[in-house]
Amino acid sequence: MDWQTNEDTVPSGFITEAQIRSVLGKPPASGAWREGDPVARRRFAEIGDFTFASGETVPRARIAYETYGELSPGRDNAILVFHALTGDANLNHPAEPGQPTDGWWPGLVGPGLPIDTDRWFVVAPNMLGGCQGSTGPSSIAPDGAEWGARFPFTTIGDQVRAHHALAEELGIDRWYAVVGGSMGGMQVLEWAVQYPGETERIAVIAAPAISSADQIALNSVQIQAIRADPAFHGGDYYDAPDGEGPHQGLALARRMALLNYRSPSELNDRFQRSWQSGLDPLGGGGRFAVESYLDFHGNKFTRRFDANTYITLVEAMSSHDLGRGRAGVVAALQSVTAKALVLGIDSDRLFPVADQELIAEHLPGNIDGDRPVVIASKFGHDGFLIEFDIVGREISRLLAT
State in Å, rounded, how far the first CA of the chain is from the last one.
27
Per this entry, what is the length of the chain?
401
Q: Half-sphere exposure of 183 toward its Cβ, with a 13 Å CA cutoff?
A: 31
**What are phi and psi for residue 321, nearest 5 degrees?**
-155, 100
Which residues neighbour 343 within 8 Å (Cβ) at sequence distance 6 or greater? 203, 204, 205, 206, 356, 372, 373, 374, 375, 384, 391, 394
- 30, 182, 263, 318: the catalytic one is 182
Active site residue 182: yes
Which one of 158, 321, 348, 355 is the catalytic residue? 348
Helix (H) or strand (E) holding 371: none
Catalytic residue among 83, 320, 362, 381: 381
Q: 106 with 112: CB under 8 angstroms?
A: no
Pairwise CA distance, residues 331 & 97, whole Å: 46
Q: Report the alpha-carbon distance of residue 228 to residue 367 in Å, rounded.
A: 46
Other CB atoms within 10 A of residue 228 CB:
12
What is the 8-class DSSP label of residue 3? -
Pairwise CA distance, residues 266 & 11, whole Å: 11
Annotation says 381 is catalytic: yes
Residue type, 215: Q
3-state secondary structure (DSSP) of residue 153: coil
Q: Is 76 a catalytic residue?
A: no
DSSP assignments along 154-187, one per residue: --HHHHHHHHHHHHHHHT---BSEEEEETHHHHH
Rounded Cα distance between 5 and 22, Å, is 16
Catalytic residue numbers?
Answer: 182, 348, 381
